[in-house]
Amino acid sequence: MRWIITGAAGMLGTDLVRLLNERDDDVLALTRDAVDITDPASVDELADADVVVNCAAYTAVDAAEEDEASAFAVNAVGPQLLARKAREIGARFVHISTDYVFAGDSESPYGEYGPLAPASAYGRTKAAGEWGVRAETEDYLIVRTAWLYGEHGSCFPKTMARLSDKHPELSVVTDEIGQPTWTADLADLIVRLIDAAAPAGIYHGTSSGQTNWHGFTKEIMTAYGKDPDIVGETTAATFNRPAPRPAYSVLGHDTLDAIGVAPIGDWKQRWQEAAPAVLADL
Ligand SMILES: NC(=O)c1ccc[n+]([C@@H]2O[C@H](COP(=O)([O-])OP(=O)(O)OC[C@H]3O[C@@H](n4cnc5c(N)ncnc54)[C@H](OP(=O)(O)O)[C@@H]3O)[C@@H](O)[C@H]2O)c1
């Protein structure tokens, strides 16, 4: 299997490339220096792949509020160019999307084909990317994820561990609910989808179950050897952030169930597995 990975130096891209190399697959790992996905001439050089996976994105959620055009270029134009190129070279196209495409005010898990209603600039650009991909190729797998953490790059568990070294107590929000998801597990799911010749469509690549940031932080402290009781409660209203965060980000896994591909598994069990690697290098 010949793979092309864009955004290969990102948190997810790094884990995906590592997994594919461990399998001895044929991998072309493209960082931003090698291929800028917003540049048609750069994307046009892609060739000889069975699968193209786009891990590149503009992920600065707050900065996107001030510069939606830049976010749109990376999150919407880039994926559309890549999807078109993938179709031209006869490759399947895997694109990573986000819970931010939904309104975030549901009380039950979002379905894969539920209505998109993004509340932020980042969410709007990612939703546009999904439509751009679907317009360009029939052979797409859109894999939405959320609450990602990983070994490579900054992420919530590393931030909270660092903060706990500086402060005796932490205050963490209870009114945002989601599914903490390990990039290594998402990489594994992407590979399992391709191995299973999954039908084109939308899949949700998140852990199962749900928690809030407060509950997740208690588990982070336990894994970091700290007392989980140092984690106090607060609400999102106390943080004045430019981009609204979804209050409810739980994604359902019906399409994975329908095709017989196992979802990632329970968030707490997966965190306990991931923690030694993720917290090894703060
Ligand atoms: N992190 C989360 O919690 C989260 C949640 C939901 C969904 N997602 C989605 O999951 C995917 C992977 O996220 P991640 O956390 O791995 O992101 P990440 O660590 O920010 O990596 C994104 C990568 O894309 C690269 N990139 C940016 N603009 C580019 C361009 N024009 N051409 C080529 N590469 C470019 C970045 O390079 P530079 O560093 O040089 O800019 C970076 O290496 C993204 O689609 C993201 O939207 C993430």
Give yes or no for residue 42 having a pLDDT over 90: yes
3-state helix, strand, coil in the chain (%, to 5): 45, 20, 40
User: Of the residues 37, 55, 80, 216, which should be mutated to test ligand 1's pocket, given the most ligand atoms within 8 Å of the CB?
Assistant: 55
* pLDDT score of 240 more than 90: no
Three-class SS string for 87-131?
A: HHCCCEEEEEEEHHHCCCCCCCCECCCCCCCCCCHHHHHHHHHHH
Mean pLDDT in residue range 45-53: 97
Q: Which residue has the tokens 């955004």?
A: 7
Residue 147 near ligand 1, beta carbon < 6 Å: yes
Q: Is 216 in the pocket of ligand 1 (CB under 6 A)?
A: no
| Torsion of Cα atoms, 223 then 233 then 120 then 115, to 10° | 80
**CA 152–ligand 1 middle distance (angstroms):** 12
Please state, for a pLDDT cut of 90, what percent of the chain lies above it.
98
What kind and span of H or E run contains 62? helix 61-66
Q: Which residues are catalytic?
A: 122
Residue 239: what pLDDT? 87
Asked whether 87 and 93 are in contact (CB, 8 A), the reply is yes
Rounded Cα distance, 43 and 91, in Å: 14
Residue 237 burial (C-beta neighbours within 10 Å; 0-12, 13-18, 19+) = exposed
pLDDT (average), residues 213-237: 97
Residue 53: which residues within 8 A CB-CB, separation 6 or more? 3, 4, 5, 6, 16, 94, 95, 96, 190
Task: Look over the chain and give the mean of its residue pLDDT values, rounded to a whole number.
Answer: 97
Question: pLDDT value at position 235?
Answer: 94
Expressed in angstroms and rounded, the spacing between residue 267 Cα and the centre of ligand 1 is: 22
Contact 32 CB / ligand 1 (< 6 Å): yes
**53 has a pLDDT exceeding 90:** yes
246-256 average pLDDT score: 97
Report yes or no: 265 and 206 within 8 Å, Cβ to Cβ.
no
Cβ 56 under 6 angstroms from ligand 1: yes
Q: pLDDT tens across 95-152, in order?
A: 999 999 999 999 999 999 999 999 999 999 999 999 999 999 999 999 999 999 999 9
Residue keyed to tokens 């329908």: 258
**Of all protein residues, whose CA lies closest to atom 2 belonging to ligand 1?**
148
Model confidence pLDDT, tens digit, residues 151-203 = 999 999 999 999 999 999 999 999 999 999 999 999 999 999 999 999 999 99
Residues 6 or more apart in contact with residue 150 via CB below 8 angstroms:
11, 12, 14, 15, 182, 183, 184, 278
Q: pTM of the entire structure? A: 0.98
CA of 168 to the centre of ligand 1 (A): 32
Is the confidence at residue 215, as pLDDT, over 90? yes
| CA 10/CA 8 separation, integer angstroms | 6
Question: Residues 6 or more apart from 240 whose CB is under 8 A from it?
Answer: none
pLDDT of 208 over the 90 cut: yes
